[in-house]
Chains A and B, each alone.
Chain A
Amino acid sequence: MAAAAITGASGFGNWARCAAQQALTQDRLLEFETFGNVSLIHVTDIHGQLKPIYFREPSVNIGTGSNRGAVPHITGADFRRFYGIKDGSPGHYALSAGDFSAMAQAYGRVGGLDRVATVIRAIRADRPDALLLDGGDTWHGSYTTWKTRAQDIVNVMNMLAPDAMTFHWEFTLGSARVAELVEQLPFAALGQNIFDAEWDEPTDIFLPYQVFERGGTKIAVIGQAFPYMPIANPGWMFPEFSFGIRDENMAALVGEVRAGGAECVVVLSHNGFNVDKKMAGLVPGIDVILSGHTHDALPEPVVVGSTIILPSGSNGKFVSRIDLDIRNGRMMGYRTKLIPIFSDVITPDAEVAAMIAAERSPYLKEMTEVIGQTDSLLYRRGTFNGPWDDLICAALLSERDAEIALSPGVRWGPSLLPGQNITREDIFSVTSMTYGEVYRTEFKGAFLKTVLEDVADNIFNPDPYYQQGGDMVRTGGLGYRIDVSKPQGQRISNMTLLKTGEMIDPDRTYIVAGWASVNEGTEGPQIWDVVESHIRKAGIVTVEENNSVDIAGI
């Protein structure tokens, strides 16, 4: 099928215009002219966020190679111009950075699974047999997911009745707990690239795909879990499993489901956006890739050949609706809408709201305790730094008496506005994990450079298949220059110990504190306790602008 044969439309422009007329209502947000014969609903990367939050999108998101300057690697005003989004509009607030604190006052919090439930119910009222697909990174990232080992979010998600799910951070619960939770699921746990590590063959727990018959149409949903699990996360927590992209197996499965009569092939992916784009170009026959992992939110799908790719954001901020016209085994057209979950506009679903309250109530007192206050906007996203991570690095340096701090370049975690209280829950929402121990150790200067070069290549390698899809490791007490266009080993220079202004000596030993080590047996206090102690001492925290990374080659 030629790409030109597909007709596409995105409902995004409509609501942007409506909102400019001060008419941001639930009906307008949900407005959608039902199209074709199949509907998909996509949520992804919720990271345990049951309640509405603030979430600021990045203003720095560097792409390399063929993705340099391509979506999602354009931000702020450039992003708004690219999609024709008016400054000051709800689309500006939901999808791009800039004026965030002021706009947050006007538009309020986003997300909340009770609001997500309302949107899903409305879509199902329109199209009762719509498929709800969860892209993973769901069972992780909050105070209550930590305390309940993700039982809270599993219980709430099951109320939304997904049809299938794929996985990433879920595995950091450990293989035994993952297996236990997967057994509770009343829907398919998918991952064509989840293999038994010993025999390098598919597992009994995770299916590669499931075929659904909806509206008289056979739809195959193939799961694609995060490919780099044992490298980016602690492999010792799930040694029974092996992952990888395995696009040859993907191609074989697309052939298998097509031969079995599937008229529409959907990949529920946790590859990350750039990896999905490359895979779409290499594996023919996929109609739709529902893209997760890199937390991008795009108002229109990106088309590669005859495949449409839709990334649906993170932290419960968006729900995507995708209507497809499938005829004679071909996708003849699509209509999509990335629905932002404005929590003040969308009425919460009462049953799901009650369930969320019940899951939180045993922990409510301890999690809502106010630890301090912030004077600054705290957010995480950014290729090299964000104020939340600057604050975490400051905590690591002072609480652990270190010269240099290292903090992982993860993309989850809500934002806090200037003047907001910082609760224990807020700290957990940017630190919660099963390997949060803070190490304090000695690194030679030369090894520090090796670490930075290694992580940089996982982010800036021009070939997406060698990108793991996070952001650069955050550094405290250490400045450096990076040329992202150079090969591994040549990107990092001018490493400077900020305290003294001296260049890092390759042969000298430095005291380094960090967290989220993938090594087994890491010892130290939990990161949330370290950050809490730091904030409590400060009372009110202020984060200055961070200019310690000098960026070149973009």
Chain B
Amino acid sequence: MELTRRKVLALGTGTLAFAGFPALARLADGVIADITGGAELREGGISLSAPEIAENGNTVPVRVDAPGAVAITLLADGNPVPNVATFRFGPMSASRGASTRIRLAKTQNVLALAEMEDGSFRMTKAEVKVTIGGCGG
């Protein structure tokens, strides 16, 4: 699927209906628009690894890789401030990826947005659930 700006917005709306954080999801959309200037977002070429369910919402390990990226921005669309980090890479950077730990206020999408050397943009996301916990089998 080609991820156009309109589809991203539609995704954002879906998230909003699901999770009920309209203002926050829109904040993330705003940040994306600021970075891309409205340019097309494509899938592929970027991978994001995050746990399906956070063991501790205060410190969630994530890893992002986008070979050929000049910058990668991580966003958390359910946090009061969606910007998590921007990693910049120069021509001498051996790998275009980073690992970090982030804090998630509640169940939400972690978004990774890469600006590539050719000026195009790639995006992927992972839903991370932050739960009170249940009881196993």
Contacts and interface: CB of A to CB of B under 8 A. Distances in A.
B125 to A, nearest CB: 14
A168 B136 contact: yes
A308 interface: no
A238 B134 CA distance: 17
Contact of B136 (A244, A450, A469, A473): A469
A516 B135 contact: yes
Nearest to A407: B135
A487 B53 contact: no
A386 interface: no
A470 B18 contact: no
B91 interface: no
Contacts of B129: 457, 466
Contacts, number: 88
A501 B56 CA distance: 38
B131 A454 contact: yes
B107 interface: yes
Chain A CB within 10 A, most for which of B52, B129, B132, B136: B136
Interface string A133-151: 0000100000000000000
Interface in A15-62: 45
A385 to B, nearest CB: 14
A220 B20 CA distance: 46
Contacts of B135: 232-233, 408-410, 455, 468, 470, 473, 516
B117 interface: no
Nearest to A247: B52
A45 B55 CA distance: 23
Given A231-B55, A235-B56, A412 B137 contact: yes
Contacts of A64: none
A401 interface: no
Most interface-central of B20, B61, B132, B133 (chain A CB within 10 A)? B133
Contacts of B107: 488
Given A248-B49, A451-B132, A458-B131, A294 B56 contact: no
B137 A454 contact: no
Counting chain B CB atoms within 10 Å of each CB, the highest count among A169, A232, A451, A457 belongs to A232
A298 to B, nearest CB: 15
Interface string B36-64: 00000000000001011111100001000
A465 interface: yes
Interface in B85-123: 107
Contacts of A242: 55, 61
B132 A470 contact: no
Interface in B2-46: 18, 20
Interface residues of B, number: 19
Contacts of B20: 489
Given A200-B61, A454-B131, A454-B132, A245 B137 contact: no
A518 interface: yes
Given A45-B137, A232-B136, A272-B137, A457 B55 contact: no
A428 interface: no
Contact of A231 (B18, B49, B134, B137): B134
Contacts of A454: 131-134
A132 to B, nearest CB: 22
B137 A137 contact: yes
A455 B134 contact: yes
A365 B81 CA distance: 61
B52 A233 contact: no
A229 B133 CA distance: 10
Given A458-B131, A487-B18, A489-B20, A169 B52 contact: no
Nearest to B47: A248
A169 to B, nearest CB: 7
B122 to A, nearest CB: 19
Contact of A468 (B51, B55, B61, B136): B136
Contacts of A469: 136-137
A431 to B, nearest CB: 13
Contacts of B56: 230, 235
Contact of A294 (B49, B51, B54, B137): B137
Closest 6 CB pairs of A and B: A408-B135, A232-B136, A458-B134, A230-B55, A411-B137, A465-B52
Given A228-B53, A232-B135, A469-B136, 14 more contacts: A200-B61, A231-B53, A232-B134, A244-B55, A408-B134, A408-B135, A410-B135, A454-B132, A454-B133, A455-B134, A458-B131, A458-B133, A470-B135, A473-B134
30 contacts: A137-B137, A168-B136, A197-B55, A228-B53, A228-B136, A229-B136, A231-B53, A231-B131, A231-B134, A232-B133, A232-B134, A244-B51, A245-B52, A293-B136, A294-B137, A409-B134, A409-B135, A411-B137, A412-B137, A450-B132, A451-B132, A457-B129, A457-B131, A465-B52, A468-B53, A468-B136, A469-B137, A470-B137, A488-B18, A518-B133
Interface of A: 45, 137, 168-169, 197, 200, 226-233, 235, 242-245, 248, 272, 293-295, 408-412, 450-451, 454-455, 457-459, 465-466, 468-470, 473, 487-489, 516, 518
